[in-house]
Amino acid sequence: MGVVDAAAEARATGIAPPLVLAGDLARPVRLTLADLRAGWSQHRAEVLFDCATSGPRRHLFEGPLLREVVLDAGPGFDVRRRKDRSRFLLVVGGGDGHHAVLSWAEIDADFGDAPVLLATRMDGRPLDTDGSQLVVPSDRCGARYVSAVRRVWAGSCPTEPEAESVKPAKPA
């Protein structure tokens, strides 16, 4: 289903399409906003970020921590090994085609411990029609606030570049 089709379906049914959690996971899953509300502890984040198009924005978001949702899906790293966890990345894609990338270390309790949310409510309003929103409370800029989250991909950062994709440097 394309971006336009998903938005039209959400308006018609009043329910956003499920979020797909995929990648290097033991248990990839599709999650509705109802799943996100029922399956994990709900956290609150009061945020103020500077939006390039409309200036400062203040909101109260509620939802589960991204790390808890991904941990339940069984990420492909050894949770006991910090260096194994530090190579993991998360790519969050929204219904409008916007994407943001986070490192696992940003949200891991042993590293950055950022309380990044998959918000299911904004300013007390359920996001049932809109879909979940990625909330990065520590960001001063709203660029990583992804609306209508449709996909979260989790996987490790490649350790070696592919030989065929590396081009020789041009002489100075």
Global pTM? Answer: 0.84
Domains of the chain, CATH where assigned: 3-157 (3.90.420.10)
Lowest mean pLDDT among 14-18, 40-44, 88-92, 168-172: 168-172
Given phi > 0 = left and psi -120 to 50 = alpha, else beta, which region is 61? Answer: beta
Is residue 117 within 8 A of residue 32, CB to CB? The reply is: no
Q: What is the pLDDT of residues 92-151, one digit of tens each?
A: 999 999 999 999 999 999 999 999 999 999 999 999 999 999 999 998 888 899 999 999
State the distance between the two ends of the chain, measured CA to CA, in whole angstroms.
48
CA 68 to CA 40: how far, in whole Å?
Answer: 7
Q: What is the pLDDT of residues 43-73, one digit of tens each?
A: 999 999 887 788 888 999 999 999 999 999 9
At residue 7 the predicted structure's pLDDT band, cuts being 50, 70 and 90, is low
* Sign of torsion over alpha carbons 103, 108, 111, 116: positive
